Chains A and B, each alone.
Chain A
Amino acid sequence: MTDRIQILIQGLDTNSVASVTRTLDQVKNLEDLTVDEKICLTEAFFEIFAHAHHTNSTSMPKLAVRAGKRIAKFGPEMMPVLFNRLVEADSETANYYGKALARNGVAGLNYLFPKLSEHRSRDHDLINLIQALAYFKIPDAASTVPFVLSVAQHVNHQVTSMALYTIGRLVQQLPPSAFSDELRQFIFSSCFRFLSHAQGLVRKNAARTLGKMLRKGLLSAENEKKLYKAFLSICGRDEQHNWDRAFIVRREAEDFLPFFHHQSVPVRRYTQSYKIKSRQLLCANTYHLTIEAPLIARKIEAGQFVIVRPHIFSERIPLSICNWDRTKGTIDIIVSAVGKTTTEINAMNIGDAFEDVVGPLGERSALPTSPGTSVLIGGGYGTGAIIPTARDIKATGNKVIGIVGARNKENLIMVSELQAVCDEVILTTNDGSAGMGGLVTDALREVLLREKVVYVLAIGPVPMMKAVSEMTRPQAIPTFVSLNAIMVDGTGMCGACRVTVGGETKFACFHGPDFDGHKVDFENLMKRQKMFVKEERLAFEHLKV
């Protein structure tokens, strides 16, 4: 054993989270490890596995998984070491050895699978080996299913339940394409038989595996009906059968009851996938996303917005809509990465789904009440949000002038889409790299001189909306601004989005988002938007880590 490894291992205290974390970090930085060194380290990491459940810390098991990851990084030479410990591991630690092995991917599977038949006669070994199979995330792992199912016929019910558990995990984590039709039928018929096994644990795992097949859409319509009847009787909702004696089995079946598709109220019609259908880079850090949400698309009107939550850990943020397709059932949003959540959204790819999208929220934009010219002003990512309103006004026969402002040429977005629904579009850039140089207000001043303007809508940064409102105030032109206040629920429940309009407190989510620009207290809005600046920075740094 070399000195550096000796020091590392002696410094490792497997009861201390700090010590384990430190050691793992140090090992990560080591270079040119020899095979012997790797084996020494691996043996030391096994101590972490063994102690993971004997400390009170909840982060110890996570660290053990991390240690397993490190072992896998050492390469395939470690597989025999892992394997030898796996077969003798107790039920609490076997998963760490299994997970570390499974990280070797195809090589791990090819190593592990032949060993299964060798150890078939020893129940304890077999249970651990089957459990290890459950952690493989490569489609090839599906090829082990027939063997696992044959093992499931074992007299020892612990082997059976572990085999069913493994199949359940594989069904959940592998893509549906990994399972051929015959394989699906084979899994279904085997697991279905186990629903009447004498042991509750076996029934539970069988029910769970079948439920997961249902959820993944691996069941044929006929099998689904069969399973529905079985689950109903397990839960005691079928008059002819008694419910399952074992609480764990009932609970499992109850959990999956809502996922059956052929019931008379098709709840599925109310569940939207929130999947990203297309994704297009508009300018730096700004994406145009098309999201599948047929119910929202059917109802949304110009000016309304949605609240999205990309994943279960994230916050709910309001986003305006720039387009929708009622027949395809999609809505379009523009997301500019400015904070943690928007950065996370922009990291999502086509096919990824939002956790939640709620909408349409807020009131639709007001339309001009008298004939004349309407001016719609979009600043930055607000450009997209004026398009639906421009289309609506254009449909009433009024003249529509769009003004788009951006820092420079590269940041001008959605111009052609806007041109399609406006009589005239004026581009402005701060540096003069495209269109007229200057601010949107410079363009507005010029329009006000030559046209009879009866309606102004401005969407964009608060200072821009404020400047626009100030410019139209002397002539008392009806001016609307769309306020992007901080929101939580979006239904008027929390009051986070309160804004001062004409001396009164209004809720942007419910009374807005459009308000009379001449009455809005912009100062207060700007200050309120900075409420969480410190936290946002913290969250952003957390994201980078």
Chain B
Amino acid sequence: MNETTPTPRPLSNRERMGLPHQEMPLNDPVARVKNFDEVPVGYSEEMAQAEAMRCLQCKKPACIGACPVGINIPAFIKLIEQGKYGDAAKKIRETNFLPAVCGRVCPQDKQCQAVCVVGRKNIPVGIGNLERFAADYERNNHLLEMPSMNMPTGKRVAVIGSGPAGLSAAYELAIRGHEVVIFEASHRAGGVMVYGIPRFRLPLRIVDEDIRFLTKLGVRFVYNMVIGKVLTIEDLLQREGFDAVMVGTGAGLPRMLNVPGSNANGVFSANEYLTRIYLMDAHHFPKYSTPLSSGKKVAVIGAGNTAMDVMRTAKRLGAEVTCYYRRSHDEAPARSEELKHAEQEAINWRWLSNPVEFFVDENNFVKQIKCERMTLSEPDETGRRKPVPTGEFFVEECDTVVMSLGCSVNPIIPSTDAEIHTNKWGVIIVDPETCQTSKKGVFAAGDAITGGSTVILAMGQAKKAAAAIHEYLMGKPTDPSPAVNDAELKQDLVNTNR
């Protein structure tokens, strides 16, 4: 920045509030359902600056509190407004080491953007889009720098699972100077970011870049290791010389509808459907030998984020896709952006429809779906409107059914170590402050302790767990992550007190 240039008069808050929201440019719905390319194109520099100008730079920003990892949102937006994109990315990286992932898959409309003050009168600031812009700018211009790292402590931590929780914990532990080995059960690192989230939402190269970054910090990955089976937690702690274990195994046990025909051929769990495609490349069959008999008429049950992923994936495989959900459009748990993108891609919707049976042909292949029409009750004391059956039924043709009804926690680790306690749903019980399980030295984070949530929440917990592991390893409370800048923190406190 040239100091002598006269700075233009700063915009008033009222003016900022009135600025138009920059819509994220998207690929054309007709063309994009034929490929797996990313749907949102990303902001240009001009658009990013225009969007950044809309931020009011609140004195007490609510968005930071609404972010599970506490990104200093106004600060990074200010840097974008000033054209310091690389610094903006660095700012985000202070608290979030997967900005490119989070900018793409976080439910911002339920977190930071939900509390944005601009959103009271206008569309909230596109925080997610800006985060994505900064991260992409950093990656495309190779500005990513090594974080400052503590001297090696000589302690070793085993991280189980290489999904969002595992990777974040590994990062936080590595910069504190611990040696980290990540054990992954499949043949590819990234967990749900690789097998579950479609490429058109999160291109593989972004996850790969982040994993490459971790290896640069000295984190090592070991594949094909189902911990609990090939090595137990006890083995890791006693024989393999690890000082602590962090469990990030996620929620991988799919829930299925218990109705007649749900074990028919052509009925998949969302996990199976997505895994076959994204982990095993079944859409390149027979070059890749994993088969997937995805038909011409695909029925998807559920309306969460995963259901949207399945629908849009099936659409890209050339199917006609119909969504069945027992509540209505407004109750759909998916991220609003995903719902919007799915709507653009010509999905058929059957709201207020509860599948009760799948009819099969003589070879046990599903051919029809029978649903009961539902209606919504008045909101109960929790404010939730319950679906009530009406007794009316309808039957529709389909040749593939994908159930996307959420997951339970993967039971392998708790079932092979009696000291790790779970609640009746199989969720690992942890101390909410430290994320420590009932077994000493074993910590857990992510979907394994929530039973199914988002990438960013898993990362928030992993950060907490990593801090607790660090404290546990060092035997005493030590400085928090070097990512937190003390001087800046103090300055903030001074400002707030004034």
Contacts and interface: CB of A to CB of B under 8 A. Distances in A.
Contacts of B253: 492-493, 495, 507, 510
A255 B212 CA distance: 8
B146 A243 contact: yes
Interface stretch (B50-58, B266-274, B312-320, B345-353): B266-274
Q: Please tell me the size bucket of the interface on A.
A: 35 or more
A491 B230 contact: no
A535 B275 contact: no
B258 A505 contact: yes
B275 A531 contact: no
A247 B142 contact: yes
Contacts of B290: 314-316, 488
Given A271-B222, A493-B252, A496-B272, A313 B288 contact: yes
B280 A315 contact: yes
Contacts of A183: none
A315 B285 CA distance: 10
A524 B364 contact: yes
Contact of A489 (B156, B275, B281, B288): B275
Of B146, B181, B222, most buried by chain A (CB within 10 Å of CB) is B222
B317 to A, nearest CB: 14
Interface in A516-545: 524, 527-528, 530-532, 534-536, 538-539, 542
Given A355-B187, A531-B265, A531-B266, A265 B220 contact: yes
Contacts of B265: 527-528, 530-531
A494 B230 contact: no
Interface string A422-445: 000000000000000000000000
A265 B291 contact: no
B263 to A, nearest CB: 6
Interface in A230-274: 235-237, 243, 247, 251, 254-255, 257-258, 264-265, 267, 270-272
B275 A360 contact: no
B29 to A, nearest CB: 24
B229 A299 contact: yes
B412 interface: yes
Contacts of B410: 491-493
Contacts of A542: 286-287
B256 A340 contact: no
A313 B289 contact: yes
B102 to A, nearest CB: 23
B212 A254 contact: yes
A296 interface: yes
Nearest to B292: A535
Given A491-B412, A531-B265, A340 B289 contact: yes
A404 to B, nearest CB: 29
B19 to A, nearest CB: 36
B495 interface: no
A359 interface: yes
Interface in B280-300: 280-281, 285-293
A1 B264 CA distance: 64
B211 to A, nearest CB: 11
A237 B218 CA distance: 9
B474 interface: no
B363 interface: yes
Contact of B230 (A265, A299, A500, A524): A299
A341 interface: yes
A360 B225 CA distance: 9
A79 interface: no
A78 interface: no
Contact of A315 (B145, B156, B266, B289): B289
B186 interface: yes
Given A270-B222, A539-B286, A295 B263 contact: no
B275 A270 contact: no
A488 B374 CA distance: 35
B: interface residue count bin? 35 or more
From B225, B258, B263, B264, residue with most partner A Cβ within 10 Å = B263
Most chain A CB within a 10 A radius of its CB, from B224, B264, B271: B224
Contacts of A507: 253
Contacts of B271: 493-495
Given A493-B252, A493-B253, A359 B185 contact: no
A237 B146 contact: yes
Nearest to A532: B291
B248 to A, nearest CB: 14
Interface string A337-366: 000110000000000000111111100000
User: Residue among A236, A255, A359, A531 with the most chain B CB within 10 A?
Assistant: A531
A489 B293 contact: no
A535 B216 contact: no
A315 to B, nearest CB: 4
A309 B187 contact: yes
A528 B364 contact: yes
Interface in A254-307: 254-255, 257-258, 264-265, 267, 270-272, 295-296, 299
B215 A361 contact: no
A271 B183 CA distance: 11
A498 interface: yes
B254 interface: yes
B275 A488 contact: yes
B272 A538 contact: no
Contacts of A510: 253, 411-412
A299 B183 CA distance: 17
A494 B450 CA distance: 19
Contacts of B256: 495, 498, 505
B289 A539 contact: yes
Contacts of B220: 258, 265, 267
Interface in A462-516: 488-496, 498-500, 505, 507, 510
Contacts of A258: 215, 220-221
Nearest to A295: B230
B287 to A, nearest CB: 6
A262 B363 CA distance: 57
Contacts of B229: 299, 359-361
Contacts of A489: 185-186, 275, 279
A494 B402 CA distance: 12
A367 B341 CA distance: 54
A536 B289 CA distance: 8
A255 B213 CA distance: 10
Question: Which of A255, A257, A494, A507: most chain B CB closer than 10 A?
Answer: A494
Contacts of A360: 229-230
B226 interface: yes
Contacts of B181: 265, 267, 270
A534 B412 contact: no
Given A491-B410, A494-B254, A530 B363 contact: yes
B275 A314 contact: no
B179 interface: yes
A61 B221 CA distance: 34
A88 B149 CA distance: 51
Contacts of A247: 142
Interface of B: 142, 145-146, 149, 156, 179, 181, 183, 185-187, 195, 212, 215-216, 218, 220-226, 229-231, 252-254, 256, 258, 262-266, 268-269, 271-272, 275-276, 279-281, 285-293, 363-364, 410-412
11 contacts: A237-B146, A295-B230, A296-B230, A356-B187, A359-B226, A489-B185, A491-B412, A495-B268, A495-B269, A500-B263, A505-B263
Q: What 10 pairs across the A-B complex have the smallest Cβ distances?
A: A535-B291, A527-B364, A493-B252, A494-B272, A542-B286, A495-B269, A315-B290, A247-B142, A270-B222, A532-B291
Interface of A: 235-237, 243, 247, 251, 254-255, 257-258, 264-265, 267, 270-272, 295-296, 299, 309, 313-316, 340-341, 355-361, 488-496, 498-500, 505, 507, 510, 524, 527-528, 530-532, 534-536, 538-539, 542
Given A251-B212, A360-B230, A361-B226, 10 more contacts: A257-B215, A270-B222, A313-B289, A314-B289, A358-B224, A492-B411, A493-B252, A494-B271, A495-B256, A538-B285
